[in-house]
């Protein structure tokens, strides 16, 4: 299978992370629902990478189940900051080096702090963006923990 060799793929290879590439037809604003349907998997297994920022404009990444939202109020409380909100898409692209809809937590342009919903690590495998729209990589959550060393948080809401 031909798939793009993105900065994400380079990082996974560099850290000897076993992964399975999955391509699907990207839909603007389709989100994880479209990806999950295309791959025939539960949306809960599709992990989205969200670029957020605090009131000082410091960026961070949040890994969240596709079928859940981030409670930004709870996230701000956990991070001991006043507010946390989604980054403007243009700013997010500049900071990560990825287009919105293709953001991977692996291989960002500059290192950013990563926080992951703790329950992700209870899953046997997840599907996370591979660094391009319409491209997910299937990996074990243990590899996310090993390579990214994210802060584990509980800020999900249905």
pLDDT tens-place string over residues 102-133: 999 999 999 999 999 999 999 999 999 999 99
| CA 86 from centroid of its chain's CA atoms | 13
- Over the Cα atoms of the chain, what is R_g? 14
What's the pLDDT score for residue 131? 97
Sign of CA pseudo-dihedral 68, 61, 141, 102: positive
Nearest-10 crossing angle of helices 141-148, 7-14: 90
Residue 92: CB atoms within 10 Å: 21
Which superfamily does 7-157 belong to? YbaK/aminoacyl-tRNA synthetase-associated domain (3.90.960.10)
Task: Find the mean pLDDT for residues 65-89.
Answer: 97
Break the chain into its structural domains and give their ranges: 7-157
* pLDDT recorded at residue 31: 92
Give yes or no for a contact between 9 and 17, defined as CB atoms under 8 angstroms apart. Answer: no
């Amino acid at each position: 299978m031909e798939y793009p060799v993105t900065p994400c793929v380079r990082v996974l290879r560099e850290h000897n992370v076993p992964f399975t590439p999955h391509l699907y037809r990207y839909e603007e604003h389709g989100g994880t629902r479209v990806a999950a349907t295309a791959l025939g998997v539960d949306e809960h297994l599709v992990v989205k990478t969200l670029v957020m920022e605090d009131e000082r404009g410091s960026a961070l990444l949040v890994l969240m189940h596709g079928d859940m939202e981030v409670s930004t109020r709870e996230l701000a409380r956990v991070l001991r900051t006043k507010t946390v909100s989604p980054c403007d898409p243009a700013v997010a692209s500049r900071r990560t080096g990825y287009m919105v809809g293709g953001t991977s937590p692996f291989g960002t342009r500059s290192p950013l702090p990563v926080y992951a919903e703790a329950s992700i690590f209870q899953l046997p495998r997840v599907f996370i963006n591979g660094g391009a729209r319409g491209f997910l990589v299937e990996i074990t959550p243990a590899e996310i923990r090993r390579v990214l060393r994210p802060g584990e948080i509980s800020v999900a809401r249905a």
